Amino acid sequence: MFRRFVFAQWCGGAVLAAAPFFVIAADKLGMSLQDVALLLGTQTVGALLSNPQ
């Protein structure tokens, strides 16, 4: 069980580390910065709602 917890924490950290690169990649693919901000905002709200501690 602890091994799964550590793995889940590691995956969450990897996602957070990749977020700045997502913004750059989305900009290069032609997404507007408002759309990128909306996606990052919904990701943050989802993370907050899924962990109400």
Q: Are 16 and 29 in contact (CB under 8 A)?
A: no
What are the tens digits of pLDDT across the range 29-47?
988 889 988 988 888 898 7
Confidence of residue 3 (pLDDT cuts 50, 70, 90): very high
DSSP string spanning 17-37?
Answer: HHHHHHHHHHHHTT--HHHHH
Mean pLDDT of the chain, nearest integer: 86
Given this model, what pLDDT does residue 53 score?
67
Confidence of residue 5 (pLDDT cuts 50, 70, 90): very high
**pTM over the 0.75 mark:** no
